[in-house]
A and B are shown apart, each in its own frame.
Chain A
Amino acid sequence: MKNYFTLERVTALVIVVSCLGFVDFAGYYGQELIAEIAILAIFAMSLDLLVGYTGLVSLGHAAFLGIGAYATGILTVHMGWNVASSMAAGVIMAGLIAAIIGAFVVRLGGIFFIMITLALSQMFYAYFLKNREFGGDDGMPGIPRLDLEMFGLDASDPAIFAVFTVIVAALVFVLLDLIMNSPFGRYLLAIHQNENRMRSLGAPIGLYKLAIFIVAGMVAGLAGSMQAQHMGFVSPDAMFWTVSGIVLIMVIVGGTGTLVGAVVGAAVVRMMSHELSSLTEYWMMYMGLFFIGIVLFAGDGIYGTLAKYWHRARDPKAPQDLAK
């Protein structure tokens, strides 16, 4: 008996449908917010592949977001490529760079991995900060959006673009859900739980970590490309290390190890900072305290905690009782 309607998939479907339904009433700011959240959700899901599924805590994931964004910007603005191919190129570029970086970071564990991903991402930040050709610290304006005319749609309409981003996010979810439920995904889960045992069973750990590092880099690159199109602009700030920190927080707030958790985290954190920043100038302090509270007291995150209660309610004789 296979269960296709897992809690996670149903939740994802509900989120997508309600976003699409909401676009119509949302107005300009709501539509912009939906697009922004959808893009962040893609970004957060990509990081969760590393943090939640494989146990690789990266504090430099924004580098790939930035690479996707800059690739799209440079190719469209400077080289005159069309947006679709520059998007693909951004994804591939992010994947290539992830392959190079991953080749020597995946063998590192714990704190070393965290620090080195952080430092490497700052290297890209420093490069784009000083590179006048690509705008330096002023960034690079004038990035066009994907041409949706063949569907008879105008991507510059915020409602259309919001729908477009939600659909892309949904497709990313479906793809990653497929991957993480495959034997490959099972290997990653097992590596997360017990890397040594997995190795002694005969799995080449490094290769699998590298593979998921590349996938995560590519998906982050896609998010970056979408972000560049959304804002029409990219600057080195997109890859500053705090961006990596905040997306990590999103993943934690939503709950690691589930794609929907990352989506929920992206939405909650983005909306909270939106609301808080309109209330007080010192909203970052409250965000910081909120993060700390979640990390200390709700380790499973929002979706993780809710899912736990849901499963417990559905199946009251929880595993403990089966022990004998």
Chain B
Amino acid sequence: MLKATSLNKSFGSLVVTDNVSLHVPAGGRHAVIGPNGAGKTTFFNLLTGEIKANSGQVVIDGQDISSASPDARARAGLGRSFQKNNLFMEMTVLENLATASAVAMQLGKIFWKSFQTFSAVRQAAEEIAGLVNLADVLKVPVKNLSYGHQRQLEVGLALATRPKVLMLDEPTSGMSPEETAVMLKLISSLPRTLTILIIEHDMEVVFGVTDRITVLDYGSVLVEGTVEEVRNSEIVRQRYLGEAIS
């Protein structure tokens, strides 16, 4: 479903992504892990086109999007959430999700009908809100939302674009253990047919929801394999996981 081949990126002399390849089949659940500054977010940005790769290829569902703009890649089926909340702060939860749903339905060319009259948009937004446990706070402005709820909305916006591949960048970052548990449940409950690529530091989440893992270190792939393989990999134990799984 998602295939990245030999992606490279450097900022000046700093090589941030070094020949990274990755393949996620339809319905696959793939994690990208690695220490801070390993280049995980940059790798996501290369996939979505927010940063232009120096070289390499990205294919989604058979469609080569290597040179497409970020919005074209999103329309091709890449939906992402951000490590740092990146929401429409002056809107309510419902308005956020409705906006994302409208983009998914590509309604932007319609200028002669009131936005409020699109009941399909509202339905879709409410459905996503249910999925990410925000049904109770639909009318709350995002800026008044708790941080945990904002993180849930972050995932909700990505979901609302009805992606073929859902890309989550540290969905639990900065969350309390309780909030993390809610997020873990949320991600596990997503339909099994959805392809997911997730960056995560919390090993419980990684092992809980994924079947394959890529470990990035200094921009290059250290190890790639099934959860078991990575868990048992000597080099990963040494370099990264430490006591996290002992």
Contact = CB atoms under 8 A, between A and B. Distances in A.
Whether the complex brings A and B within 8 Å at their CB atoms is answered yes
Interface string B147-160: 00000000001001
Contact of B103 (A185, A187, A194, A323): A187
Given A183-B107, A193-B90, A200 B139 contact: no
Contacts, number: 110
A186 interface: yes
Interface in B72-114: 72, 74-75, 79-80, 82, 86-91, 98-100, 102-104, 106-114
Contacts of B193: none
B218 interface: no
Contacts of B118: 183
A2 B140 CA distance: 18
A103 to B, nearest CB: 16
A199 B70 contact: yes
A187 B104 CA distance: 12
B144 interface: yes
Interface stretch (A151-159, A161-169, A203-211): A203-211
Interface residues of B, number: 46
B144 A178 contact: no
B48 interface: yes
A187 B108 contact: yes
A100 to B, nearest CB: 21
Among A181, A187, A193, A197, max chain B CB count under 10 A is at A197
A201 B103 contact: yes
Contacts of A182: 110-115
Contacts of B157: 197, 201
Given A199-B70, A200-B50, A202-B104, A186 B112 contact: no
B109 A323 contact: no
A208 B71 CA distance: 12
Contacts of B69: 204
A193 B108 contact: no
A186 B99 contact: yes
A130 to B, nearest CB: 39
Nearest to B106: A202
Interface of A: 2, 178-179, 181-187, 189-190, 193-194, 196-205, 208, 319-320, 322-323
23 contacts: A181-B115, A182-B114, A182-B115, A183-B110, A183-B111, A183-B113, A184-B109, A184-B110, A186-B98, A187-B103, A193-B91, A194-B87, A197-B86, A199-B71, A200-B48, A200-B74, A202-B71, A202-B74, A202-B161, A204-B72, A319-B144, A323-B140, A323-B146
